[in-house]
Structure formats: structure tokens, C-alpha cells
């Protein structure tokens, strides 16, 4: 369907906005999006702009202001929040369509280099079996060559790259923070280690900081980590801060909301989401 936007230009949008909105609602209700407030706002804002024929207005600066609450001084060249969250959104959508959404009739994608969604009917697989096998063989050969190239040119990565700690153990004043942060930090460490993508400090090496609270820079020096993820809990809000202690740079921050913090299963599920977000933020998701 063609639609005229506010600037008078004619743009193409999905012919059934109700179907698109229903599809978005299903995505937002899925486990990968249920607790991810920033991704929910990102997806909702951009799809609504698309349905209004305003895709050309979906720019990095606009998203920073409208979706991520940046102020008048927001500079996308300095603050990468939109680019980081766009990578997370692409990955979460890919995981959704590979899992719960594999039978959906629509697909929402964000082409690299663009923050405007591409919404289209899902493609049916009509490729003959022989062609599929041929493509699989070719893909396997490409992957093998790429893996060999990576192995011989890979940079040296410290064995202990990430330390996950309860924020109470790194703050001088931790009043008002809930002790559930310890269970979440331990579970997140477990998931990061088990997934095997991001090098992580073992939980036994983190426990001593419980009795000897130290700032993130000292945690990094004592453990050999180059990143520190601090997790705090206040009420039903779980806040994560990923920092580079040696530079003071904040790489990522996110709030999650969990009503049942007394449930071990709920905490473990949240910890898995945090582990997946860390992989995406540090570029280990591909």
C-alpha cells in the first residue's frame, strides 16, 4: 500500500497495519522481549513510524531522543546507545523467528545501516532439495575457510575478560539495594561460562569481594578482567552496568523488571537474558 507522509513523499507500507500491530504484540510477549524495555520501545516506535509512512524520519538522533530519553546535548558520535540496541534488536528478532516465531506469516527485519524496519510476508521455502544441499555444502566450505582465517589472524584475548559482580560489592553506599543481586550475578556467570562465547571469571574468584568491597577498577586488577558487569536490584528493577574499568567507559546499561525475584527459575531466566545481551554488546553473538 502506498501512503503519503508528512513531507508529501509517497512511501510503501504494509497493507494491513492491524496485522502488523498484532504481530508486534506477539513479539513483545515472547520471552526474549518480555523484560527488555529498551528493545520493546525501539521496536514499537519504529514500526509505528513505518506504518505512518514516516520511515525516513527514523534516524539515530531521533531514536536517541525519543526512545532512549537522551537530552538536547545527545551526540550519536559519542554515545553509541542506538547502535548497540539496534544490534541487540536484530539478534533478538533473529532468535524469535528461529524459535517461537518460526511459523509467523510476517517478518520484521532491520537492514544493516538502517534503523527503519522492513516488514514483509514470510518467504516460503520452495527451493528444490538438491539446490539446498548444494548451498549447504558451499556454506560449510565458506565457514571452514573463514574459521581458518580467523584462527591464524585472531587477536590475543585475555583468558579472564569479564567479571560479573553484585553492585553492592563495588559501591561504598549500597543502602536500598536488595541481596537478590548475588543470585542473579552467580547465575549470569554460569550462563556466560556455559555458552562459551565470552571469557568470564569463575564465581569462586568473585565471592571474596563480598567481604571486601572494592570498586570496579580494583576488581579488574585483582581478577585480570577487562570488563566488569555490576548488577543491582532495587524493588522489582534489576539494573546492569557493563564498564571498562581501566578507561571508565560505560559500554552498556539496561533495566529489567521482574515481579517474582523470589523464584529461582525467574532469576535464572533473567540471568540467561543478561548473558545473551552481554554477548551481543561485546560482539560475540555472530
Residue by residue, pLDDT tens for the chain (286 residues) are 545 555 555 445 555 899 999 999 999 999 889 888 999 999 999 999 999 988 888 999 999 999 999 998 989 888 888 998 999 999 899 999 999 899 999 999 998 888 999 998 887 654 455 566 667 777 777 777 666 664 555 444 455 589 999 998 887 666 678 889 999 999 999 999 999 999 999 999 999 998 888 889 999 999 889 999 999 999 889 999 999 998 888 889 999 998 888 899 999 999 999 999 998 888 875 5
The per-residue pLDDT for 178 is 84
Contact 274, 188 (CB under 8 A): yes
Answer whether 0.75 is exceeded by the pTM. Answer: no
CA angle 271, 41, 236 (to 5 degrees): 40
The per-residue pLDDT for 165 is 95
Contact 276, 270 (CB under 8 A): no
The CATH number of 162-281 is which of 3.40.50.150, 3.40.630.30, 3.40.50.10610, 2.40.30.10?
A: 3.40.50.10610
For β-strands 227-234 and 162-166, DSSP reports them as parallel
Contact 86, 74 (CB under 8 A): no
CA angle 7, 8, 14 (to 5 degrees): 95
The per-residue pLDDT for 179 is 87
The per-residue pLDDT for 138 is 76
Domain parsing of the chain, residue ranges: 2-121, 125-154, 162-281
The per-residue pLDDT for 107 is 93
The per-residue pLDDT for 153 is 52
The per-residue pLDDT for 176 is 72
The per-residue pLDDT for 161 is 86
* Neighbour-count burial of 148, counting CB atoms closer than 10 A to its CB (0-12 exposed, 13-18 middle, 19+ buried): exposed
Amino acid at each position: 500500500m502506498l501512503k503519503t507522509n508528512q513531507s508529501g513523499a509517497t512511501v510503501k507500507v504494509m497493507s494491513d497495519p492491524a496485522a502488523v500491530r498484532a504481530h508486534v504484540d506477539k513479539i513483545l510477549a515472547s520471552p526474549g522481549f518480555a523484560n527488555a524495555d529498551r528493545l520493546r520501545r525501539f521496536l514499537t516506535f519504529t514500526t509505528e513510524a513505518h506504518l505512518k509512512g514516516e520511515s525516513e524520519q527514523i534516524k539515530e538522533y531521533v531514536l536517541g531522543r525519543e526512545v532512549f530519553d537522551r537530552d538536547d546535548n545527545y551526540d550519536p558520535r559519542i554515545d553509541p546507545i542506538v547502535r548497540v540496541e539496534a544490534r541487540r534488536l536484530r539478534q533478538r528478532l533473529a532468535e524469535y523467528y528461529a524459535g517461537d516465531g518460526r511459523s509467523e506469516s510476517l517478518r520484521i527485519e532491520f537492514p544493516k545501516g538502517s534503523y527503519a524496519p522492513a516488514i514483509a510476508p514470510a518467504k516460503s521455502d520452495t527451493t528444490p532439495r538438491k539446490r539446498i544441499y548444494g548451498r549447504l555444502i558451499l556454506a560449510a566450505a565458506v565457514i571452514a575457510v573463514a574459521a581458518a582465517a580467523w584462527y591464524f589472524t585472531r587477536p590475543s584475548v585475555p583468558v579472564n575478560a569479564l567479571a560479573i559482580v553484585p553492585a553492592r560489592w563495588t559501591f561504598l553506599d549500597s543502602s536500598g539495594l536488595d541481596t537478590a543481586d548475588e543470585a542473579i550475578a552467580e547465575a549470569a556467570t554460569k550462563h556466560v561460562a556455559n555458552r562459551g562465547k565470552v571469557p568470564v571469571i569463575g564465581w569462586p574468584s568473585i565471592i571474596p569481594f563480598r567481604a571486601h568491597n572494592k570498586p570496579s577498577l580494583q576488581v579488574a586488577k585483582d581478577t585480570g578482567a577487562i570488563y566488569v558487569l555490576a548488577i543491582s536490584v532495587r524493588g522489582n528493577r534489576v539494573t546492569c552496568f557493563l564498564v571498562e574499568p581501566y578507561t571508565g567507559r560505560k559500554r552498556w546499561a539496561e533495566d529489567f523488571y521482574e515481579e517474582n525475584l523470589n523464584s529461582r527459575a525467574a532469576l535464572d531466566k533473567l540471568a540467561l537474558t543478561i548473558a545473551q545481551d552481554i554477548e551481543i554488546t561485546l560482539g560475540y553473538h555472530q
